[in-house]
């Protein structure tokens, strides 16, 4: 293993991790759990000051174990029943008693959620109090990125996010050519861990088909396949399984998913289309592993240029990535992987993110559907060219163009989305 390949594996272990529930309310629950643990007593009140993007992505999604939606319940159950050492699975040991206590706090008006005055896209400050004691925790930039912990004004932990060397990080190691080479040739024993993503996410997909979760996008596709309205083919199988998993997750199912780049839906969308294709083709476990590595690393690479939260829907990134994995399963080349990305960037790149909610399952379905079609075109040698739109003849430039669109070009779009959402009664 080269040192560069070791970096790739470290990236995967850092960015592809289990998450229970939508990662925005879970980030708030994590900060609240850490604050309560620091306080050393049951909080009598909770105050949360959060960034607008965190609010956008958390206000309409189910919180696991509660049967409820919203950031106030997420903060309350995090403080009362969360375990910070579990990170994105902070609520895995939540009990009905914790939920009952949390609802009592909400009813008594002891939980307050406000929008923080910050430029950070992902920011959460939690302040908990019991009598004369106060604890404060700040989480920033990453869903598990706790950067400040204090009790009664005494700083216990602090990470300086504004230090001079913060912008001088190591050179980004990934490129599409390196990703494809790694996925195709890395020792199987070193990358087989990614199969846990297939196991975990497929379990949630099956649950989504069994229960009445969210919009029931996946379940409805399955019903129409049985009625012979839709075909029982690879495309519909991939869309069905992925959207069913998103249905369950957005509803708040008490099951973890394997996330990607801080997003559970991105993790599902990187994984399930590839798994569906592998099942249909009856490929070996090793070939599935390599396709999943290609998919997850591609999503990490593209998302790196966009940032954790943006006005662009992350499902389109993950749908692009899984389509690349499917190209590999179908015997495609590096050039056809590039064509697939260009086809996706030139088609549904502008899908907006208007927060985590049941409707995300429909966006996931659209991304997976488009990804399969982009891959089919690429395998036939058809591609959107560098003369069209934001696509470039250089694949790395295409990815950077997409990142610029989301990070810079859609700032006003993001502001309008946020204004529209926060003006509604919550």
| Per-residue H/E/C for the chain | CCHHHHHHHHHHHHHCCEECCCHHHHHHHHHHHHHHHHHCCCCCEEEEEECHHHHHCCCCCEECCCCEECHHHHHHHHHHHCCHHHHHHCCCCCCHHHHHHHHHHHHCCCEEEEECCCCCCCEEEEEEEECCEEEEEEEECCCCCEEEEEECCEEEEECCCCCHHHHCCCCCCCCHHHHHHHHHHCCHHHHHHHHHHHHHHHHHHHHHHHCCCCCCHHHHHHHHHHCCCCCCCHHHHHHHHHHHHHHHHHHCCCCCEECECCEHHHHHHHHHHHHHHHHHHCCCHHHHHHHHHHHHHHHHHHHHHHCCCCCECHHHHHHHHHHHHHHHHCCCCHHHHHHHHHHHHCCCCCCECCCCCCCHHHHHHHHHHHHHHHHHHHHCCCCCCCCCCCCCCCHHHHHHHHHHHHHHHCHHHHHHHHHHHHCCCC
Given a contact cutoff of 8 angstroms between Cβ atoms, the answer to whether 109 and 86 are in contact is no
| Residue 137 DSSP symbol | E
Helix, strand or coil, per DSSP, at residue 298: helix
Cβ neighbours, 10 Å, residue 284: 11
The pLDDT value given to residue 163: 53
How far apart (Å, rounded) are the C-alpha atoms in residues 267 and 277? Answer: 16
The pLDDT value given to residue 369: 97
How far apart (Å, rounded) are the C-alpha atoms in residues 362 and 215? Answer: 8
**What string of pLDDT tens digits covers the 426 residues of the chain?**
788 999 999 999 999 999 888 888 899 999 999 999 999 999 999 999 998 888 877 777 889 889 888 899 999 999 999 999 999 999 999 999 999 999 999 999 999 999 898 988 889 999 999 999 999 999 998 888 999 999 999 999 999 876 544 444 578 999 999 999 999 999 999 999 999 999 999 999 999 999 999 999 999 999 999 999 999 999 999 999 999 999 999 898 989 999 999 889 999 999 999 999 999 999 999 999 999 999 999 999 999 988 767 788 889 999 999 999 999 999 999 999 999 999 999 998 889 888 888 899 999 999 999 999 999 999 999 999 999 999 999 999 999 999 999 888 888 888 888 888 777 654
How far apart (Å, rounded) are the C-alpha atoms in residues 391 and 160? Answer: 37
Helix, strand or coil, per DSSP, at residue 418: helix
Tell me which residue of 69, 95, 67 sits closest to 82, measured CA to CA: 95
Angle at 151 between CA 51 and CA 43, to 5 degrees: 75
Q: For 4-31, b where at least 16 C-beta lie within 10 A, e where not — what string?
A: ebeebbebbeebbbbbbbbbbbbbbbbb
Tell me which residue of 425, 374, 422 sits closest to 57, measured CA to CA: 422
Predicted TM-score of the model (pTM): 0.89
How far apart (Å, rounded) are the C-alpha atoms in residues 36 and 41? Answer: 7
Cα 330 versus chain centre, distance: 26
The pLDDT value given to residue 242: 98
How far apart (Å, rounded) are the C-alpha atoms in residues 421 and 51? Answer: 13
The pLDDT value given to residue 194: 98
The pLDDT value given to residue 307: 74
How far apart (Å, rounded) are the C-alpha atoms in residues 352 and 203? Answer: 28
Instruction: Mark out the alpha helices in 40-175 (DSSP H runs).
Output: 52-56, 71-81, 96-107
Cβ neighbours, 10 Å, residue 228: 8
How far apart (Å, rounded) are the C-alpha atoms in residues 248 and 210? Answer: 10
The pLDDT value given to residue 34: 97
The pLDDT value given to residue 168: 45
The pLDDT value given to residue 166: 45
- Would residue 355 be called left, alpha or beta, if left means φ above 0 and alpha means ψ between -120 and 50 degrees? left
The pLDDT value given to residue 169: 57
């Amino acid at each position: 293993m080269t040192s560069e390949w070791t970096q790739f594996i470290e990236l995967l272990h850092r960015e592809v991790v289990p998450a229970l529930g939508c990662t925005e309310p879970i980030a708030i629950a994590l900060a609240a759990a850490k604050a309560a643990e620091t306080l050393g007593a049951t909080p009598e009140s909770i105050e949360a000051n959060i960034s607008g993007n965190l609010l956008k992505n958390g206000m309409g999604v189910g919180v696991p174990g509660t049967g409820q939606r919203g950031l106030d319940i997420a903060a309350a159950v995090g403080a009362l029943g969360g375990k910070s050492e579990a990170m994105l699975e902070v609520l895995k040991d939540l009990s009905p008693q914790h939920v009952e206590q949390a609802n009592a706090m909400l009813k008594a008006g002891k939980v307050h959620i406000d929008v923080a005055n910050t430029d950070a896209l992902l920011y959460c400050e939690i302040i908990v109090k019991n009598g004369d004691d106060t604890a404060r925790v700040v989480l920033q930039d990453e869903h598990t990125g706790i950067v400040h912990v204090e009790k009664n004004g005494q700083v216990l932990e602090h990470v300086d996010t504004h230090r001079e060397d913060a912008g001088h990080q190591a050179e980004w190691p990934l490129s599409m050519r390196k990703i494809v080479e790694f996925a195709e040739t890395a020792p199987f024993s070193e990358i087989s861990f990614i199969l846990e993503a297939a196991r975990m996410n497929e379990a949630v997909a099956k649950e989504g088909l069994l229960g009445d979760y969210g919009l029931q996008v996946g379940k409805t596709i399955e019903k129409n396949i049985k009625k012979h309205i839709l075909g029982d083919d690879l495309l519909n199988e991939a869309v069905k399984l992925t959207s069913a998993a998103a249905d369950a997750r957005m509803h708040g199912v008490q099951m973890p998913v394997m996330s990607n780049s801080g997003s559970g839906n991105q993790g599902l969308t990187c994984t399930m289309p590839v798994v569906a294709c592998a099942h249909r083709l009856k490929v070996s476990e090793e070939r599935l592993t390599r396709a999943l590595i290609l998919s997850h690393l591609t999503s990490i690479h593209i998302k790196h240029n966009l940032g954790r939260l943006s006005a662009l829907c992350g499902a389109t990134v993950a749908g692009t990535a899984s389509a690349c994995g499917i190209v590999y399963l179908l015997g495609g080349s590096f050039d056809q992987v590039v064509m697939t990305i260009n086809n996706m960037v030139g088609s549904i790149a502008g899908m907006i993110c208007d927060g985590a909610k049941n409707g995300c399952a429909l966006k996931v379905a659209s991304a997976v559907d488009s990804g399969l079609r982009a891959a089919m075109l690429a395998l036939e040698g058809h591609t959107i060219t560098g003369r069209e739109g934001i696509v470039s003849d250089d694949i790395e430039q295409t990815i950077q163009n997409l990142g610029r669109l989301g990070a810079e070009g859609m700032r006003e779009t993001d502001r309008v989305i946020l204004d529209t959402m926060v003006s509604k009664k919550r």
